[in-house]
Structure 1
Amino acid sequence: MTSPRWPRIGYGGDYNPEQWPREVWDEDIRLMTEAGVDLVTVGVFSWARLEPRPGEYDTEWLDDVLDRLHAAGISVDLATATASPPPWLSRAHPESLPVTADGTTLWPGGRQAYCPSSPVFRERAAALTRMMAERYGSHPAVVLWHVSNEIGCHNALCYCDVSAAAFRDWLRARYGTLEALNDAWGTAFWSQHYAEWDEVLPPRSAPAFPNPTQQLDFRRFSSDELLGVYRNERAVLDEVCPDVPVTTNFMVMAHTKEMDYFSWADDLDVVSNDHYLEAARPENHRELAFSSDLVRGVARGEPWILMEQSSSAVNWQPRNVAKRPGELLRVSLSHVARGADAVLFFQWRASRAGAEKYHSALLPHAGTDSRLWREVVELGAVLRSVGEVAGSGADNRVAVLYDWNAWWACELDSHPSVDVRYRAMAEAVHAGLSDLGVGIDVVHPDHDLESYDVVVVPTLYLVGDGLAERLEALARRGAQVLVTYFSGIVDEHDHVRLGGYPGAFRDLLGVRATEFTPLLEAQEVRLGSGATGTVWAEDLEATDAEVLDHFTDGPVPGGPALTRRAVGDGHAWYLATFLDADPLRDLLARVVDAAGVARAEEPHPGVEVVRRVAEDGRRWAFVLNHRDEPATVAVSGHDLVTGADVTDVSLPAGGVAVVRE
């Protein structure tokens, strides 16, 4: 099966006609046409409407909606409608409800009130999926299947007895014997040795810190169980209508860590992602950029679908800030610049009732006489004008390594410092490289790294065997490898790699630390170069490396803070603290220059230049000005947004350009 391809950038969003009387539907389709909408997701939360009682289906309304959309030339991403089970399911089967670590049952009344391991839930979800597939699998409007919705968003970790039994089955498959499990979990500590499989439980609330490897394996199990929810429905779709591609929407965002999407990606015909800006986060466009580059990495460089974003404010943050004029266009093009071949939203028409009634939509409460609606129409026109970039990819020479297993392990309890946050260094590195005008791929450590001349390894706490040797081989042929603190410390079981830190990377880097010396909250440490570090320091010696910078105060004054080891034609660098933005960008510039990777002569903080490249060699530069002042960037060609030829791109505050170079 192949992934869908459009000769354009798709535009639209979730359409929930069941929330509205039929007389509204004609207006919906008329306004979709006016806005340029050509792809909508239908049926996501309609299980209770489609199956009001077990085995009784009401599909007449959905038949009508799909026929109307097809007549208007609007394609449909049809949901299996299983995202949130109807009340009758949990009433008949309360054992299907999710349970928290402290034993609290989560009841219906919100959404996704199901245990991912529940056989009853999976059976009923498969039955509904079969009905949908048999009825609509050949409908001419349906171009894509949408399994469930944001799987794991509110029920990723379930600790009920059903989950406990499934966890034990998963552990048997992983370890084979109790002896192997006891060894992996280090159960000799705190008298945790297991003599029978039935003694093994999820890491429920305990009097003291739960076993760290038990916690890590439960994260792995839970991600696999959620993937099983997807596979359960996907199997039905493949059987009934194998020619229609299948996706589900990921949630690659700063606050979503429960699903290992690298391990999910091969099960999707096209990767889809939902992304929402965090209003309280300064320069939140940087987190968007990192997340979108990560989505492209999950998709192995293939184009992907932005399945959801907000046209303006959301409803679920403490303070829900509206997008400012021009931000909708700029944010949308930032996703397109990084590989999105469709720009969709939650949702088409803002709801009158329910928990998300204050979540913005393409058609706001104020209607078409509003700034937001005019920007929605403008976005549709711009996406049509840049449609030629669809299907193109990237040819970046810089990679940042990222792994959900390392994230889970890095942020377990009982660690040297709660201030070590896994994504923090990765996002800081990505931001610094972006300011240098360098294209970045965010990829898994197991992916092929041979095409990269710079590989950055930020806070990769958990590392499998073999990565250090692969990185050394890259350096020997001329690549630059930069590793940051708290990397390579443990193996896949969260067992410390003995002999001194940074464990797996000690020989590659030519350094050895005997003790971590993390900084106190808000404490700073100075370096000989004048740079300031926070969060981390360590008692480090350079065993086979050149010291480029050192600590002048703090816990280890005089100790190395930045080192470099010559490895063949390349180098392996080590950074032992969290640098402020400017010195970190300066360091990255040195690394990039040493690799011969082209970058902007002058950094442009707040102005992104991101390129997409087609197989035939055509190149497009997306220039996005996130600043409150004008900017000029040396990019020449034909601007698809304005239709003008340019030699330098001059943008107003918040302006955008897409230049065919």
Structure 2
Amino acid sequence: MTQITSSFPHSSRGELFYGADYNPEQWSRETWDEDVKLMKQAGVNVVSLAIFSWAIIEVADDKWDFAWLDEVINLLHKNGIAVDLATATASPPPWLTKAHPEVLPVTKNGETLYPGGRQHWRPTSPIFRRYALRLVEQLAKRYGSHPAVIAWHVNNELGCHNNYDFSDDAAEAFRTWLKERYGTIDKLNFAWGTAFWSQHYVDFADILPPRQAATFPNPTQQLDWARFSSDALGAHLDAELEALHKHSPGVPVTTNYMLGRGTRGMDVSSWKVDFVSNDHYRVQTEPDERDELSFSANLTSGVAHGAPWWLMEHSTSAVNWQGINIPKRSGEMARDSLTHVAHGADAVCYFQWRQSKAGAEKYHSAMVPHVGPDSQLFRDVVKLGENMKALAEIRGSHRVTAPIAILFDWDCWWASELDSHPSSRVNYYREALDWFVALLDLGIRADAVTSPTDLSKYKVVIAPILYLVDDPLQQRIHEYVHDGGHFITTYFSGIVDVNDHAKLGGTLGRSLDDGTEATMWTDPIDIIGKSVEVIRKYDSGDVKGRPAVTRNSAGKGTAAYVSTRLGVQGLKKLLPDLLKGTKAQSTLPPSLRGPVEQVIRSDGHTEWEFLINRTDDPIDLKDMEGDLLVSTGVERKARLAERGIAVFRRKL
């Protein structure tokens, strides 16, 4: 699981943090003074600095220019604006890649990825690591005790564009990783099942990354490659973090994760930081994108074990990198931001402060748009800053445990979507999100959790597509159910062990006897236990009349199995039956169940209830208990604006 400390950046005024990536090197010195003035007007109290500044900090090999950075940090500090200082290692300068082209990543087809974009570096390159750490040490020694610097920002979006590098450096590091994992070549041969297709190895030196092959590469090799690639990025994070701790003790360190449906390659739950931060961008062409934002924020809280975290990047409006980039509508910027706060974010930041006039992201929205501060967008930014100040009292509070946990596991994500499977349509993230959205539709809170070590605090645990199950997890689930917990899992679960060795399988697709359409998958189920209850049956095809959803009593609890993909609407119909007797129910008034998402934070003395409007229509709240702390849109206690959020405070 993610190793985090209790260290979170300190705000001298006890406020939530509000700000953005700031790139003053793109602008004239005169603009800096205007920026600071506007930041104060907007309530900005923190900026992330120097994220892509390596080329102008180290202008040539071991030739440094810190004058501009000194000036801007001092200017920000003078005006009460804190700095999250990046290590600037995300994008190597042209002089480095010219002198050392061997730091450039290589694709699985053997093609070199050249400079001209960003993240053009190999996570396992010893040459890149040497230059990167020299830069980190220079920055840490110079600014590590500066009163403006409240946090360190390692690299940027680790693995976003260089997650899988198939170079010779990576091959050598992969072999070392495999030796540490397996110890002997015989154990590796067993784990990889190399008796198949004559893949038997006699020496670790013979092993390569799963580069482009004539047909399907070895599946366990692919799974180990995913594990290794994530660990390689984590090792680079460790190296920078260690240097920062050495030369800048006491200043907390983070790196911005990318928890969302499009970034499956990095198991950030295994990385080490002082506090968790995340970047999230809505894909507005997706029909479930509003709820996906909530799920991502919820999952980030799970990675942080419920502790406060930092929303490092999101957008004020449209982005530039999607096929169709849709501006946000009225109220959406505030709703998006405060939804992250509801799920535990104590900092809300954007990419970026001022919209660029040149470069690849000049059409990406910012806090100050091209038109300038005399704009509706900037007025909305100022208003959100006021709401962030009004919510200052929640700083440091934790999310209140929900009645239901949704177990999320990267090994299952990677392994369940390998090639040469019964179906190429298995989508691990989609299935987990479907359960989350179905529970939202019923008004029931759920926590996305990445660590199954303490399941006892949840009335119900849902493990969608629990494809890969090791013995310790199987034992924890058994104990959870035996002690009175209620466990639900789905199709394509319990199929393989940690080596991706098969236990069972099957695939078809039919309808259920309640009219729900079963899609993509059907497991033929034989009932052998006397206590097994059939919740749903198939109603068509070769499996007509056979069990589709079952529940079995074990000890004081129950275990249920859903043998097909039902989608949100099917799960919404099924869940009331699965949850009977579990005490996992909604605490919202019936009229709010579905239209409103409820999230609760608490410090043990006070509780803050966030009510998030999931619709485009205003909603009557009526008789809500507590003091109204914040309401976006319509400023009335009894009314929740379309795309709005209301926050109520209650003393415990």
**TM-score, scaled to structure 1:** 0.94
2:341 paired with 1:354: no
Map Cα deviations across residues 386-442 of structure 1 (whole Å, 9 max, x no partner): 121111112222111111111010110001111111111110111111222222221
Distance 1:592 1:546 in 2: 14
Q: What is the aligned-residue identity percentage?
A: 49
Match of 1:369 in 2: 374
Match of 1:510 in 2: none
Distance 1:213 1:642 in 2: 51
Distance 1:172 1:568 in 2: 41
Match of 1:453 in 2: 459
Pairing 1:56-95 to 2, within 5 Å after superposition: 56-95=63-102
Match of 1:512 in 2: none
Match of 2:508 in 1: 518
Once the two structures are overlaid, the 10-residue window that deviates more, 353-362 or 643-652, is: 643-652
2:558 paired with 1:586: no
Instruction: Work out which of the residue numbers 110, 118, 128 in structure 2 matches 1:111.
Output: 118
Instruction: Work out which of the residue numbers 626, 631, 656 in structure 1 matches 2:619.
Output: 631
Amino acid corresponding to residue 629 of structure 1 in structure 2: D
Report if the CA contact (8 A) 1:606-1:627 is conserved.
yes
Deviation at 1:538, TM superposition (A): 1.4
Match of 1:342 in 2: 347
Deviation at 1:631, TM superposition (A): 1.5
Deviation at 1:632, TM superposition (A): 2.5
Amino acid corresponding to residue 331 of structure 1 in structure 2: D
Instruction: Work out which of the residue numbers 646, 653, 656 in structure 1 matches 2:645.
Output: 656
**Partner of 1:363: helix, strand, or coil?**
coil
Instruction: Work out which of the residue numbers 209, 212, 217 in structure 2 matches 1:205.
Output: 212
Match of 2:158 in 1: 151
2:241 paired with 1:234: yes
Report if the CA contact (8 A) 2:453-2:476 is conserved.
no
2:527 paired with 1:527: no
Match of 2:22 in 1: 15
Match of 1:306 in 2: 311
Report if the CA contact (8 A) 1:311-1:323 is conserved.
yes
Distance 1:426 1:643 in 2: 30
Report if the CA contact (8 A) 2:632-2:644 is conserved.
no
Match of 1:570 in 2: 557
Instruction: Work out which of the residue numbers 426, 440, 448 in structure 1 matches 2:446.
Output: 440
Deviation at 1:255, TM superposition (A): 0.4
**Partner of 1:180: helix, strand, or coil?**
helix
Report if the CA contact (8 A) 1:638-1:646 is conserved.
no
Match of 1:621 in 2: 609
Match of 1:423 in 2: 429
The gaps in structure 1 that reach 5 residues or longer are: 502-514, 520-524
Report if the CA contact (8 A) 1:649-1:657 is conserved.
no
Map Cα deviations across residues 265-314 of structure 1 (whole Å, 9 max, x no partner): xx211100000001211131111111111111111111100000001011
Report if the CA contact (8 A) 2:632-2:645 is conserved.
no
**Partner of 2:95: helix, strand, or coil?**
helix
Map Cα deviations across residues 227-280 of structure 1 (whole Å, 9 max, x no partner): 11111111111111111110000000110011111101xx21110000000121
Distance 2:367 2:173 in 1: 42
Distance 1:601 1:143 in 2: 42
Report if the CA contact (8 A) 2:10-2:150 is conserved.
no
Report if the CA contact (8 A) 2:628-2:637 is conserved.
no
Pairing 1:170-249 to 2, within 5 Å after superposition: 170-249=177-256
**Partner of 2:226: helix, strand, or coil?**
helix
Amino acid corresponding to residue 611 of structure 2 in structure 1: V
**Partner of 2:630: helix, strand, or coil?**
coil
2:273 paired with 1:283: no
Distance 1:108 1:382 in 2: 42
Report if the CA contact (8 A) 2:331-2:642 is conserved.
no
**TM-score, scaled to structure 2:** 0.95
Instruction: Work out which of the residue numbers 36, 43, 48 in structure 2 matches 1:41.
Output: 48
Distance 2:580 2:74 in 1: 57
Instruction: Work out which of the residue numbers 545, 555, 571 in structure 2 matches 1:558.
Output: 545
2:152 paired with 1:164: no
Instruction: Work out which of the residue numbers 315, 320, 323 in structure 2 matches 1:318.
Output: 323
Report if the CA contact (8 A) 1:483-1:575 is conserved.
yes
Deviation at 1:604, TM superposition (A): 3.1
Amino acid corresponding to residue 630 of structure 1 in structure 2: P
Deviation at 1:648, TM superposition (A): 6.9
**Partner of 2:156: helix, strand, or coil?**
coil
**Partner of 1:640: helix, strand, or coil?**
strand
How many residues are paired up? 637
Report if the CA contact (8 A) 1:531-1:580 is conserved.
no
Instruction: Work out which of the residue numbers 602, 605, 609 in structure 1 matches 2:598.
Output: 609
Deviation at 1:644, TM superposition (A): 13
Counterparts in 2 of 1:42 and 1:647: CA distance versus 1, 3 Å? closer
**Partner of 1:255: helix, strand, or coil?**
coil
2:486 paired with 1:480: yes
Distance 2:520 2:165 in 1: 33
Runs (4 or more) in structure 1 with deviation over 6 Å come to 643-648
Counterparts in 2 of 1:655 and 1:644: CA distance versus 1, 3 Å? closer
Match of 1:508 in 2: none
Deviation at 1:649, TM superposition (A): 4.2
Instruction: Work out which of the residue numbers 505, 522, 528 in structure 2 matches 1:537.
Output: 522
Amino acid corresponding to residue 261 of structure 1 in structure 2: V
Distance 2:158 2:96 in 1: 18
Counterparts in 2 of 1:166 and 1:643: CA distance versus 1, 3 Å? closer
Deviation at 1:636, TM superposition (A): 2.0
Distance 2:570 2:119 in 1: 45
Distance 2:483 2:477 in 1: 10
Map Cα deviations across residues 102-129 of structure 1 (whole Å, 9 max, x no partner): 0010000000111110001000000000
The gaps in structure 2 that reach 5 residues or longer are: none
Map Cα deviations across residues 563-612 of structure 1 (whole Å, 9 max, x no partner): 11112222111111111423312322333342112314636334211111
Map Cα deviations across residues 41-75 of structure 1 (whole Å, 9 max, x no partner): 00000000000101000000000000000000000
Distance 1:360 1:250 in 2: 20
Instruction: Work out which of the residue numbers 117, 120, 133 in structure 2 matches 1:126.
Output: 133
